[in-house]
Structure formats: structure tokens, C-alpha cells
């Protein structure tokens, strides 16, 4: 089998083909600062080949519910953005897993609260945990808190 050697710099078309991300989405990522290109002598955008891995990371993070702003913060925290290492991936994966666990716990709690509300419809500030979780409004004092805040 012949081994295909990837050039150091690739076009946006090749990057799109290799990652499955549309050219317009790649340009959007670039406008957001997630990836960077440089112009060649023909004034075409060229991406260093390591960007394939960064785009893959962005896809994984987006699929797990992270915003592009969160992803940018994480990428900016990498020791070297030109080479995402296995250690970088493990550290990012571990942080994202913790965040996912937190979201799952929060959503499960919300789902359980909603179960109490299905078929009720009272939307009572005293009774409904969805409308007033943990009676947060009650801790702020008595009276019509929603009307005055």
C-alpha cells in the first residue's frame, strides 16, 4: 500500500475534505479566531496541516455542547497551538468530561422537577420548583419579588 504524504500547508478545500467541515464553516472558525491561515503567493489561504486536528477537536467539542467561545478559551490555553499533543487532548477531554457530568446532573435534576409539574400547571411560586427552584425568591424576602425586580 502506498503511503500518502500530507504537505505541510493545505488549501481550505483539502481541509474541508479531510475534516468534513464545509468551507464556509472553516472561514467562520477563522473569523472567530479558532483557526489561522496565511496567504500564499497566489493570495490563496493556506492552513498548516496541524489545523486538521484542531478542527477535529472543535467538532468533538461542539457535538458535546460547548460553545465556540468556550472552545476558543480552551484552545488559547494550550501550551502550543501549532501542535496539539496527546497530553493536550487528554487534559481537554478530562475537563470536558467533568463539564458534561455537571450538565447531566443539572439536566437530570431539571427533568425530575418537571415530572412534578406535568399535569399540574399551577406555576405556584410557593410550590413549583421549576418556577422558583429552591425557593430562591423566598430567600430574598416576602412579597411580590417578581414584580419588583
Question: 21-60: which residues touch ligand FES (CB under 6 A)?
Answer: none
DSSP of 61-79: HHHTT--HHHHHHHHHTSS
Q: How far is C-alpha 68 from the chain's CA centre?
A: 5
Do 20 and 31 form a contact (C-beta atoms < 8 A)?
A: no
Question: Which of 96, 92, 14 minimizes the C-alpha distance to 51?
Answer: 14
Shortest spacing between CB 127 and ligand FES, in angstroms: 5
* Residue number, 102 or 127, with CB nearest to ligand FES: 127
The backbone torsions φ and ψ at residue 141, rounded to the nearest 5 degrees and listed phi first, read 125, 180
Contacts (Cβ under 8 Å, ≥6 apart) of 15: 21, 26, 47, 51, 52, 55
Question: 92-131: which residues touch ligand FES (CB under 6 A)?
Answer: 116-117, 120-124, 127-128, 130
Signed CA dihedral, 13, 14, 16, 20: sign only: positive
Shortest spacing between CB 82 and ligand FES, in angstroms: 52
Total residues in contact with ligand FES, by rule CB under 6 A:
10
* Residue number, 109 or 116, with CB nearest to ligand FES: 116
* Residue number, 17 or 126, with CB nearest to ligand FES: 126
* Residue number, 69 or 109, with CB nearest to ligand FES: 109
Shortest spacing between CB 11 and ligand FES, in angstroms: 55
* Residue number, 100 or 122, with CB nearest to ligand FES: 122
Residue ranges that bind ligand FES, judged by CB under 6 A:
116-117, 120-124, 127-128, 130
Amino acid at each position: 500500500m502506498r503511503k500518502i504524504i500530507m504537505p505541510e500547508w493545505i488549501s481550505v478545500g483539502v481541509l474541508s475534505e479531510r475534516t468534513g467541515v464545509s468551507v464556509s464553516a472553516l472561514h467562520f472558525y477563522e473569523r472567530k479566531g479558532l483557526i489561522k491561515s496565511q496567504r500564499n503567493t497566489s493570495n490563496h489561504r493556506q492552513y498548516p496541516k496541524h489545523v486538521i486536528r484542531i478542527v477535529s477537536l472543535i467538532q468533538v467539542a461542539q457535538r458535546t455542547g460547548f460553545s465556540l467561545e468556550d472552545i476558543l478559551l480552551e484552545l488559547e490555553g494550550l501550551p502550543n497551538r501549532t501542535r496539539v499533543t496527546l497530553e493536550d487532548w487528554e487534559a481537554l477531554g478530562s475537563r470536558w468530561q467533568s463539564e458534561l457530568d455537571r450538565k447531566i446532573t443539572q439536566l437530570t435534576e431539571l427533568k425530575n422537577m418537571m415530572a412534578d409539574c406535568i399535569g399540574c400547571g399551577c406555576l405556584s411560586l410557593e410550590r413549583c420548583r421549576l418556577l422558583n427552584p429552591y425557593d430562591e425568591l423566598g430567600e430574598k424576602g416576602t412579597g411580590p419579588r417578581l414584580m419588583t425586580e
